[in-house]
Amino acid sequence: MILGVTGGFGCGKSTVTRLFESRGFQRIDSDQLVRDRVLTAPDIVGALKERYGARVVGPDGIVARSNLAEIVFNDDAERIWLESLTHPIVFSLWREALASNPAGRWVVEVPLLFEKSLEKWFDFIVCVACSSEQQLARLESRGLSSTFAGQRISKQLPLARKIELSDFVLWNDGSAEFLGAQVDRLANSLAR
């Protein structure tokens, strides 16, 4: 079984996938793959350096992700270029992981699941949602300005539409215990 977990930026997708992992699912964190495997690949670093120079890639060869985010979330053409460069590698890493245990129970965090038409990859899609006030408060607590948080949110499908398209919705405005109880209920239901 493969669960795809999506939702709005700052709604708690990572928290939910970790909760599923603690309940026996194997977890794939797409953002972590990008950070640890994609943005460190020599071909990708070279392409970013060629396109953006020292603003994005330092002399040590490390990608300044915050600078890269500032560029791509302010320019749709640049965001699309970056996605076309990185997404095929991410999908290849998914295939590799999933092939390692085809009979396993998997949970995959996919922020742009619907935006990139990835529904066919998953047996079930779970949307993690919360109020827009809670979403902005979480993002601001991570150090993002409300303007930049709003820009990033606007690049995704509206949360209401993600909720409509998903098989299950977990509401993350309450306590950690409430979210954990929702994950327990869903995991137990899927096990049947």
For residues 156 and 133, what is the distance between their CA atoms, to the nearest angstrom? 17
In this prediction, residue 145 carries a pLDDT of 77
In this prediction, residue 79 carries a pLDDT of 93
Q: Residue 5: enclosing H or E segment and its boundaries?
A: strand 2-7
Report yes or no: 124 and 5 within 8 Å, Cβ to Cβ: no
Question: pLDDT (tens digit, 9 = 90+) per residue, 130-183?
Answer: 988 888 888 888 877 777 777 777 777 888 999 999 999 999 998 999 999 999
Q: What are phi and psi of 190, to 5 degrees?
A: -70, -30
Query: At 92, is the pLDDT very low, low, confident or very high (cuts 50, 70, 90)?
Result: very high
Whether pLDDT at 78 is above 90: yes
Per-domain residue ranges for the chain? 2-191
Q: What is the pTM of this model?
A: 0.87
Could you tell me the fold of the domain covering 2-191?
A: Rossmann fold (3.40.50)
